[in-house]
Amino acid sequence: MTSDTRWCFSPTFLGISALVNAISYQHKPGATESSVLGPFHDENSHLIGNGATIVEEGTYGEATLVRGKVRSVTGAPVKQAFLDVWETDGHGVYDLEYVDRHGDPNRRGKLYTDDEGQYAFTCVRPILRPAHMHFMILHPEYNKLITALYSRDSKYVESDTVFGVKSSLLVDYKFTKDTELAGEYGMQTFKKNIDGKQREGGASAAQDSRLDQEA
């Protein structure tokens, strides 16, 4: 994939945003660190089943499975935590940015964790500078968490300091040849050249989150 320059954040805006974020969200030690909300959150997003997809068919990008667990800072699974996730497509563009979009939310979705605090959804691997995926996690007994998952191998993840990328929020997207797993989630696999051979599979990432409670 190549990076796309059609979309660009204003660094000044983001710098302020990161600062406000640092001041407003003081989480307890052990809780997942927060990140900027960004301008592309949209309430107009579908509730999906746990394990379903947040992308509509034909969306450009590498098919990706994201799985994780939501826990309290003490490690207890948080069931029925509400996740609101949003991301760009494989061009690095959010649905709201397409002038010709037809109105349906795409690359965004809402879902609940299961009894073990687990969640899963399929999407496309986001690209941007740096590549990231937004998460808002809500539960009546816990503090709201607005965070993001940053791709460790993103070209800009270390140099782009205005994003205030925190090392605890970096994840590895792995290419998996487990087509059975892909089938389980109804993912469309893609081919990737690895060591001179065409391999079939999909990308996957795992991210656990820890929520804290008010004192």
- Please give the residue ranges that form the binding site for Fe ion (CB under 5 A): 38
* Beta carbons of 105 and 46 less than 8 angstroms apart: yes
Secondary structure element (H or E) that encloses residue 83, with its range: strand 82-87
Cis peptide bond prior to 130, omega within 30° of 0: yes
- In a 10 Å sphere around its CB, with 0-12 CB exposed, 13-18 middle and 19+ buried, how is residue 122 labelled? buried
Give the strand pairing for 145-151 and 118-124.
Answer: unpaired
**38 or 68, CB closer to Fe ion?**
38
The single-letter code of the amino acid at 30 is G
Q: Which of 47, 49, 112, 113 is nearest to 76 (CA)?
A: 113
Structure letter (DSSP) for residue 53: B
**63 or 133, CB closer to Fe ion?**
133
Q: In angstroms, give the least distance from the CB of 187 to Fe ion.
A: 23
Q: In angstroms, give the least distance from the CB of 35 to Fe ion.
A: 9
Task: Give the other-Cβ count within 10 Å of 120's Cβ.
Answer: 19
Q: In angstroms, give the least distance from the CB of 134 to Fe ion.
A: 6
Q: In angstroms, give the least distance from the CB of 40 to Fe ion.
A: 6
**38 or 105, CB closer to Fe ion?**
38
Give residue number: closest CB to Fe ion: 38
Any residues with CB less than 8 A from the CB of 76 and at least 6 apart, and which? 117
**38 or 164, CB closer to Fe ion?**
38
Q: In angstroms, give the least distance from the CB of 60 to Fe ion.
A: 17
**38 or 201, CB closer to Fe ion?**
38
